[in-house]
Amino acid sequence: MGIIFPAVWILTLPVWMLLCCVTAENDRPIIGVLAQETYGQYPDSPSDTFIMAQYIQYLEMAGARVAPIRVRESEAYYEYMFKGINGLLLPGGGVSLLDSEYAKAAKVFYNLALKANSQGNYFPIWGTCLGFELLTVLTAGEKLLAKCYAEDVSFPLQFLPGVGDSRIVQSMPPHIFQSLLKYNVTANFHTSCLTPQNFTASKALNTFYRPLSTNLDMKGKRFISMIEAYDYPIYGSQFHPEKNPFLWRVDYTGISHDLVAVQVAQYFANFFVQEARKSTHKFPDLAHESAVLIYNYQPLYSGSPRFDLNYFFNYTANWTVWHHTAYHNSQPTPHPKHIHRCYPHEATASSHVAAGCGLGDYPLIVLSLGMLACLIVGLQIGRCIEAHTSSETWPDVLSWLIHNQKHIASNRAAAKDGMEGPSGQRVRLLQTDKHYFMMEADGTEDEEN
């Protein structure tokens, strides 16, 4: 056993490295961003739903990719997306928190996330502004918001006592914490809010969420501005961190774009994307993954003075993007409903391949078999070396094999004619059907791949 163990370890090192990679942190996170209805927000748009590009850019700058989540879809679609993405961002906006398609879809993901996290399957959610308010509705089962007025204004945060051991603040660099305390770096655009009184009166809320900070609105009413769940990776901010680096409307004068404000936004993006890296969800293969990403869609730019960049989607027509007067020079993109979605339950492997959907789990099976083959070969080589080499000469043999590996691979003929071995004697390689064997002068054989 003195020889076989190091031999097997070294020769199967690539296998162990691969296994380590499999269990490592997910460095290719995909975060879903939920679409919402356009009514009341883009009344001139013929599209039904949209996502503001600033949310996409915000997540991408922290190292995530984004998958748009459509509304008015089936449970099967939401479950499929949930199993593939690594987190969900509920963006701000202006739709109903009770009966909009946005709220209905969010409820499905919220329930899926609670169930998954309870079973140890990590899945984070972040709600911004309207998304923050929607989280409180989903948790409480009712709307407990009050009227507030904080429109186009930025505040510092008023942190609550003991906030230092919260997950959001615990990893926060001191200069970011101080910036949030001192400067107007949290952009607010809301006319509703959750007051401390309403929060305290709701057992469903105060046992589920921990309030981290409060603020006073423009009329002096106090509201909760940031929360995190006690037992789940669910977070919410009444303010908009994404607007500091990415919203450039000239009619909005209350947003800070300076270095400090952008660093604060970067921290919140980094925090949430890092949470998403803890999720092991993934799509069946790269074809499935590629089909859902935001890169498949064309954003539309409004131009001055709004400088809006948005993604528009339809659930009632054959096109996701429309050309109209407000958004010129845009080309329509086929609606995903009219493209094969590559759902695992929709087809056999052969039909998946025919539709360009990849091989599903087949590459993983092939990889597993390959790893097993490597392990078996490594064991055989180790046994061969143990049988024909003493423990004293093993380091020399290994060193010789490594040193001459390139020469053996590039010049087999010369190697067979003879090379100087580890002990100074002539060594040649004897070729069989699949392998070469190291032949020492006394006829001892050592296998060389």
Name the 3-class secondary structure at 15: helix
**Contact residues for 110 (Cβ-Cβ < 8 A; gap 6+):** 125, 135, 138
**Contact residues for 224 (Cβ-Cβ < 8 A; gap 6+):** 193, 194, 195, 196, 199, 211, 213, 214, 238
Region class of 299: left (phi > 0), else alpha (psi between -120 and 50), else beta? beta
User: Distance between CA 407 and CA 413 in Å, rounded?
Assistant: 10
| CB contact at 8 A, 438 and 447 | yes
Instruction: Name beta bridge partners: 89.
Output: 33, 126
The CA angle 31-33-38, to the nearest 5 degrees, is 170
**Distance, first Cα to last Cα, the chain:** 22
Helix or strand holding residue 180 (H, E): helix 174-182
CA dihedral 180, 185, 190, 193 (to 10 degrees): 10
From the list 190, 240, 288, 352, the catalytic residue is 240
User: Distance between CA 199 and CA 205 in Å, rounded?
Assistant: 6
Name the 3-class secondary structure at 346: coil
Q: What is the DSSP letter of 337?
A: G
Look up 357 and say whether it is catalytic.
no
User: Distance between CA 51 and CA 91 in Å, rounded?
Assistant: 8
Look up 129 and say whether it is catalytic.
yes
Q: What residues are labeled active site?
A: 129, 240
